[in-house]
Amino acid sequence: MSGKATVVLGAQWGDEGKGKLVDVLSAEADICARCAGGNNAGHTIVAPGPDGKKTTFAFHLLPSGLVNRTTAGLIGAGVVVHIPSFFEELDQLEAQGLDCTGRLFVSDRAHIVFDFHQIVDGLKEVELGAKSIGTTKRGIGPAYSSKASRSGMRIHHLFDHDTFAQKFRKLVEGRFKRYGHFEYDTEGEIERYKALADRLRPYVVDSVVYLHSALASGKRVLVEGANALMLDLDYGTYPFVTSSSTTIGGVCTGLGLPPRAIGQTIGVVKAYTTRVGGGPFPTEQLNDVGVHLQEVGREFGVTTGRRRRCGWLDLVVMKHSCLINGYDSLNLTKLDILDDIAEIKVAVRYLVDEKELPGFPADLDVLAKVDVVYVTLPGWKTSIAEITEYNALPDNCRKYIEFIENFLNVPIEYIGVGPGRESMIRKPLPAA
């Protein structure tokens, strides 16, 4: 990990369990950095608290590598930051005994999510009606819209209060013109942000200098992706996507890193598929299998509490994901959730009018018409939750893993068999 950044990215529609791998890898990292998204992300990590007892830590905006007490956290320029949520999350972690003093930093170039962005997020969903995207209503999309239209405000703007107030009034007035005069205390918010600016100031850094200085001195940097490839603004199931770049390209732009500064890229893939909100989902199982995956897999969103839609593993999606992100290895998560299933299906091709599609289609109308071709593999019908070595896994379990590796031509390096940080099998990579 030394001298180059190791990157962890979601390979499906999010909720793959990235936080747990980040937690494991953070034990060897000096810095854990977020590059995109905002507090619409949701990672839960089960780790020892200060009393040694297992504690569940929830991360939304802050880098989840902070759960390791020697790792610093950086929120990069590509992230959009809702400052009250930043402090709420920080206060909650510290109340659980996780001291982040002197090891949490925010880029001065990061854009700010204001409460009016969150109000507008809800209004946009209402306006879309039945065609709503299913956003988290955290204001992420409207904040990125402000950024793209060059009317947004960045962290550094907080520290010139008069200029901040002037820009803020203009920004709110623009939203009133677009959505009508919704209830919002503009002057009260200006005063609130004066106090928040004072509290935030010690955390703010020039993230480009900070990160490149760290790499130059041999420090180990871990990048924690948010959301996932299929939610990417360009390569996901648009418009049912997030508002940022969730790919390896977003790592470069969100942190100011050149490609040569990136070492290993690890894709995190659930042993089945889930997604939240609207949008197409070719392998979705609206039957007993789907219910089983939801209930046994505890498939409820960390950020929203919403029940996740569930289906079989889709290797057409994964092939698309591997092409774009170029994973060096994969982390297969929640494999234990398949323990009780007698026959496990895996999607390997999409057909339209009996012709195979060459890749994952851009057009959702085409995607809605696909016939999914599955391969059926035998289950293992035994618990793998206590297994710690790859060769100790049941034969059919290893065959499932190896089928995925062979299809994608990417090795699986980490295998999750339970929620705890100790429930991660490290599988040796083949010799180069």
Distance CA 423, CA 420 (A): 5
Q: Are strands 313-314 and 343-352 parallel, antiparallel or unpaired?
A: parallel
Q: With 0-12 CB in 10 A as exposed, 13-18 as middle and 19+ as buried, what is 212?
A: middle
67 and 47 in contact (C-beta within 8 Å)?
yes
Distance CA 192, CA 197 (A): 9
Of 30, 43, 157, 336, which is the active-site residue?
43
Number of Cβ within 10 Å of residue 87's Cβ equals 14
**CB under 8 Å to 286, separation ≥6 — which residues?**
none
Task: Identify the sign of the CA torsion 130, 133, 139, 143.
Answer: negative
> Which of 15, 23, 30, 232 does the annotation list as catalytic?
15
- Residue 181 annotated in active site: no
d(CA 318, CA 310): 16
Rounded Cα distance between 296 and 310, Å, is 11
Q: Is 320 a catalytic residue?
A: no
Cα 229 from Cα 235, distance rounded (Å): 7
Helices (H) and strands (E) in the chain — how many of each? 12, 20
Q: Which residues are catalytic?
A: 15, 43
